[in-house]
Amino acid sequence: MKKYISKLSVVLIYFLLIAWIAGFKIELLLDIRGILAVLCGMVLFSMPVIITERNRNTVLEAFSKNAVTVGYLATFLFLFSRLNNSKGYDNLLTDIALNCRPLLYGLICWIFLKPDNKEKEEQHEAEAKTENDALLDKDDEKSEEMSAEQRYYLFRAKGLTQREAEVARLACNSLSNREIAEQLYISETTVKKHMSHIFEKLGIASREELGNVLDSEKA
């Protein structure tokens, strides 16, 4: 908030200074119609970004860019309207100057809303961190898949059949007989039989010892 207040203060001081040097009335720069035209256009042009983006800096950057575009468009339309009304050429130069005020408002909005380079860097760093986290998550998933595959082949090396190795691998993940049966599309009774054969072949008496068998193999 302090950053925006400081920007606004700088702009106001600058305009007061120019008004004093040039000797014109600063209130002539105020035009409610032009301000509303720029603000409404800025919001409408930025609507796609507002709907799709949740990042504040991205939305503000869209506002600042569209403010300049809207300023040019509104100025053109105001000038075009002035040249086609019934006034003719009376006070034409004055009216042209006054109708350029929307462009001024657009530039002010651009100065006021444009994100700083530091904010952009922080945003890029945050996006890069998110991408890196996503890659790390994928790597973790891949590692888990590989470790599961390693378990399977270790159990196969211990003399278990293909189905017994699959059951033993899932049992190491703390799955119940019912959950193992659902994953392998077999009955719970068949899982119990496989577990009995696994215990007998590995010389163990409980599921907890399955992990110990793998640990001793790695060691």
What is the overall mean pLDDT for the chain? 79
pLDDT recorded at residue 142:
43
Look at 1-5, 9-13, 109-113 and tell me which has the smallest mean pLDDT.
Answer: 1-5
Buried b vs exposed e over 171-188: b needs ≥16 C-beta within 10 Å?
bbeebebeebbeeeebee
Specify the fold of 135-218: Arc Repressor Mutant, subunit A (1.10.10)
Helix residue ranges per DSSP H, 114-187: 117-157, 162-172, 177-184
| pLDDT on residue 134 | 55
Residue with the larger pLDDT of the pair 194 and 215:
194
Question: Do the beta carbons of residue 198 and residue 167 sit within 8 Å?
Answer: yes
Where exactly does CATH 1.10.10.10 map onto the chain? Answer: 135-218
Note the pTM of the prediction, 2 decimals: 0.47
In tens, the pLDDT along 164-213 reads 999 998 888 888 999 999 988 899 999 999 999 999 998 888 888 887 77
Amino acid 113: pLDDT:
80
Q: State residue 87's pLDDT score.
A: 66
pLDDT of residue 133: 58
pLDDT tens for 81-133 read 877 776 666 777 888 888 888 988 888 888 888 776 555 555 555 555 655 55
Which of 118, 131, 110 has the alpha carbon at shortest distance from 67? 110
| Tokens found for residue 51 | 């709907």
- At residue 29, the 3 state secondary structure works out as helix
What confidence score (pLDDT) does residue 14 get? 83
**CA 96 – CA 79 distance, rounded (Å):** 6
